[in-house]
Structure 1
Amino acid sequence: MMEITIFGKGNMGKAIGGNFEKAGNRVTYGGRDFKGSLGDVVVLAVPYGAVDSILAAHKDELAGKVLVDITNPVNFDTFDGLVVPADSSATAEIQKKVPEALVVKAFNTTFAGVLAAGKVGDKEPAVVLAASDSEEAKKTLAEALEGSGLSVVDAGSLKRAREMETLGFLHISLAAREKISWTGGFAVIH
C-alpha cells in the first residue's frame, strides 16, 4: 500500500483517486492550501495555472517524491494552442521548478469518465500513458495502479510529455466541439 496525495478534488482528481484506492492505496485529497504530509506519490490534478503555487508551497517536501502531472496547458482564452514553449511541455517546466522530484506525465490523455469506467467508449480498456526521465517514477506509478483495472504504458522519456499534451489538447478540443463524447477518446491497444 502506498500513500497518495492528490491536489484537486474535481472529476479528474476523484477518478484518479478512485483507481488508486481500488488498487489498495490510501488517498488523501487536498487543495492549494494543503497542510498535511505528502504521500509517496503526489498527483497534480489541477489546472496548469494552479501548479506554480502548489510547487512553491511544497518544493522541499517534493524532493524524492513521485510527482504526477496530469495537466494539459491549454490556452483557454483562445482554445487554439498550448501556453508552454513549443519545444517544451508543462511537465518539463514543472521538472525545472522542482528538480529533486521524480516527475512523470500521466492521465492527461484520458477523461475522468473513462478513468472511472475503466473503458474508452465502453469498449476498450483504459490505458494510462506515462512519460518520465525517471524509470523509478514510472515503475512506482504502475505498481500503485496494480489491481485498479488500468494498465500503464511507458511512453518514454520526459520529452514525450509534449506529444502527450498535444494529444490531450486534441482530445479536449474534439470533445468540446462535440465530435467525441466525454466518455470516449483515444484507445491504446497493446
Structure 2
Amino acid sequence: MSKVTVIGTGNIGGVVASIAAKGGADVQILGRDQVKTDAAVQQAGAAAGLVGDVITGEIVVLAVPYPALAEIAEQYGSQLEGKILVDVTNPVDFSTFDSLTVPADSSAAAELQTRVPGATVLKAFNTNFAATLGTGQVGDALTTVLVAGDDDAAKQRLIDVVTAGGVSAVSAGSLKRARELEAVGFLQLTLAAQEVIGWTGGFAVKK
C-alpha cells in the first residue's frame, strides 16, 4: 500500500487526497487551518494533521501556493530526504496575471529540487482543474494527469496511485518539461479567468 501525504487543504489538495484514498493508499492530510483540514479529511477519508507534524507519506503532494514551497522545504528540511515530492503549483505573477515568476530557463519544480536535493521532485496536477480531477472528465475526454520528473520509478509510483484512483496519468518526460507544464497551466488559468473556458473544462489528452 502506498503512503501519501497531502500538504494543503484547498480544492486540489482535497481532490488529490480523495483520488489517492479511492485507489487504496494510506493518506495523511496536513493543513494550517484545523476546520479546513477536518473538512478535507471527511471528503477523503484520511488521517488529519497540521503543517509541522511528522510526514508519514513516502509520496508528498505539495498542494500549496507557489510562495509556500520554499517555506515548507525549510520547515521540513531533512525529513524530506528520500521522499517523492509532487509540486502542483503554477508560479503565476498574480499582481499582473501576465507572466510566470520563475526564470525563463527554470520552473517552480526545478527550484524545489534545488532546495531539497535529497528528495525526488515530480511536477503533476498543475494542468488540471480540481473539478476535472474530481469527475475524471474534461468535456467528452478523460482527465489525464501529466507527470514530469527525472526518476522513472518515482513517476510510475505516482502514476500508479492516480490510476488506481480512477484517473488517467502519463509521463510527460523529464523534470525539464515542468517549464512547459507550468506554461500550459498558466495559459489555462488565464483562459478560465477570461471565461473563455469553464473551470470544469481545460486541456485534455486524447490517445
Under TM normalisation by the shorter chain, which class is it? Answer: over 0.9
User: Which of residues 130, 143, 154 in structure 1 aligns to 2:171?
Assistant: 154
Greater RCO, CA 8 A, separation 6+: 1
Letter in 1 for 2:26: R
Determine helix, strand or coil for the equivalent of 2:164: coil
Answer whether contact 1:38 1:61 (CA < 8 A) is retained. no
Amino acid at match of 2:14: K
Structure 1 unaligned spans of 5+: none
Q: Which of 97, 111, 116 matches 1:79?
A: 97
In 1: Cα distance, 2:193 partner to 2:55 partner = 37
Say yes or no: does 1:137 pair with 2:170. Answer: no
Written as runs of structure 1 = structure 2, the 5 A alignment for 1:1-190 is: 1-31=1-31, 33-121=51-139, 123-190=140-207
* Runs of 4+ residues deviating >6 angstroms: none
Residue range with higher mean Cα deviation, 83-92 or 147-156: 147-156
Asked whether the 8 Å contact 2:59–2:85 carries over to 1, the reply is yes
Please give the per-residue CA displacement for 1:105-145, whole angstroms capped at 9, x wherever unaligned: 00000000000001112x11110000001112101101222
Instruction: Name the structure where helix makes up a greater proportion of residues.
Output: 2
Normalised TM-score (structure 2): 0.89
| Letter matched to residue 64 of structure 1 | G
- The answer to whether the 8 Å contact 2:86/2:123 transfers is yes
Count of matched residue pairs = 189
CA shift at 1:34, angstroms? 2.8
Question: Structure 2 regions of 5+ residues with no counterpart?
Answer: 33-50
Deviation string, structure 1 residues 2-50 (Cα, Å, up to 9, x no partner): 1111110010001111110110112111136331233010001000011
Query: Which amino acid counterpart does residue 125 of structure 2 have in structure 1?
Result: F
Tell me how large the CA RMSD over aligned residues is.
1.0
Equivalent AA in structure 1 for residue 172 of structure 2 = A
Distance 1:38 1:54, change over 3 A: farther
Shift of 1:151: 1.6
- Asked whether the equivalents of residues 52 and 75 of structure 2 are also in contact (C-alpha less than 8 Å), the reply is no
Residue type at the aligned position of 1:15: V
1:45-71 deviations in whole A, cap 9, x for unaligned? 000011111110112111111100000
SS of alignment partner, residue 73 of structure 2: helix
Indicate the percent of aligned positions where both proteins have the same amino acid. Answer: 51
